[in-house]
Chains A and B, each alone.
Chain A
Amino acid sequence: MRINPDQIVFWQWHLGDWGVLNINATILFTWLVMAILVIGSRLITYRLSSGMHMSRWQNLLEVLVQGMQTQIRDMSEQEPGRYLPFVGTLFVFIALSNLLMVVPGYRPPTSSLSTTTALAICVLLAVPIYGVAERGLSGYLRKYLQPTPLMLPFNIIGEVSRTIALAIRLYGNVMSGTVIIAILISVAPFFFPILIELLGLLTGLVQAYIFAVLAMVYIASATRAHPGKSKSAGDEDVSTLAQTTEDKYK
């Protein structure tokens, strides 16, 4: 059993001195998901109507975009305008590539560590870009010195470790789904793998939601003017949440 879709190679091109170009399952299915998203959205938005009658596909897209806008507004307490393209794309891409898992022969590209690392690096780069655009370079860099300059190394370590956690979380969840299905097929075929696939649909969607939410939370914590004033989230959020609930129940 191969747990890494990078190792399933479909074509090989020999490019002379430049080495070999492998088209593996990860690349192929990533481009497939991208093609479905781009062509589908283009076809749907080709004829948009603003009247009472609209196609059901337009309805689907409107529900999706509006849902993401409300979520971003709730999460960051800012207008979703400029965050929607990035965070929404992350959500839609991960969700579709996880949901297609029910198609036979398809390997989700998110079950490869390469894909999830690329997505996590996108988030790592997007945080300073949005932060600098919103608050200026000095305003953004000053966040690293809070609450005291002594915390500078820990802030930098936190930045790196949360990126790694983001990548491994998505990879581990999706990969564990495929591994468990493969093991179950060899132990108890036909019925139980289907149940696990249904569960995989749920966890796939939840993981896409969580990836997008965490990306938004990281961006929001970099762009917010007064850190710590409103509810801050991220790894610290869990501990503060636990603490406040504990205080309440004492």
Chain B
Amino acid sequence: MTDLGLIAAVSIVMAGLTIAVGSLGPAFGEARTAAQALAAIAQQPDEANTIARTLFVSLAMIESTAIYCFVVSMILIFANPFWDAALQRAGG
């Protein structure tokens, strides 16, 4: 396999693995957060506003881990620095 083919194959596989593994943890975390928040709202409906606001902020923070993984896999597919470097070296 040539250098370019190797880089492409590894990048594609790793992009898929990154988003697959990276979304597992946040998915469990968000499910747990939402379940706890629902239980809290059911116990104290008066505090629903505060709980919902804190829930949104917490969800965004948990979700950001998945977003980082998504950004990394997007970089691997669409703006891969190693691919560009290999192309440049092959061309020049």
Q: A residues bordering B, Cβ < 8 Å?
A: 1, 3-4, 74, 165, 168-169, 171-173, 175-176, 179, 206-207, 209-210, 213-214, 217, 233, 235, 237-238, 241-242, 245, 249
Contacts and interface: CB of A to CB of B under 8 A. Distances in A.
Contact of A176 (B50, B58, B67): B67
A230 to B, nearest CB: 13
Which of the listed residues B39, B50, B60, B64 has the most CB atoms from chain A within 10 Å of its own CB?
B60
Nearest to A165: B64
B6 interface: no
B71 A233 contact: no
Chain B, interface SS category: helix
Nearest to A7: B79
Contacts of B57: 210, 213-214, 217, 233, 237
Contacts of A165: 64
Given A3-B79, A168-B68, A175 B74 contact: yes
Given A3-B74, A74-B53, A245-B40, A235 B68 contact: no
Contacts of B70: 172, 176
B71 A179 contact: no
Contacts of B14: none
A5 to B, nearest CB: 13
Given A165-B64, A168-B68, A169-B67, A241 B58 contact: yes
A179 B67 CA distance: 13
A74 B57 CA distance: 14
Contacts of B34: none
Contact of A172 (B40, B54, B56, B67): B67
A171 B58 CA distance: 18
B60 A207 contact: yes
A209 B56 CA distance: 9
B67 A241 contact: no
B54 A241 contact: yes
B62 A168 contact: no
Contacts of B28: none
Contacts of B33: 242
B25 to A, nearest CB: 14
Nearest to A166: B64
B61 interface: yes
B54 to A, nearest CB: 6
B64 A168 contact: yes
Contact of B71 (A172, A206, A242): A172
Given A74-B53, A245-B40, A169 B79 contact: no
Contact of A168 (B36, B50, B67): B67
Contacts of A173: 67
B56 A238 contact: no
Nearest to B61: A238
B68 A1 contact: no
A171 B71 contact: yes
7 contacts: A3-B74, A3-B78, A74-B53, A165-B64, A172-B71, A235-B61, A237-B57
Contact of B68 (A74, A172, A245, A249): A172
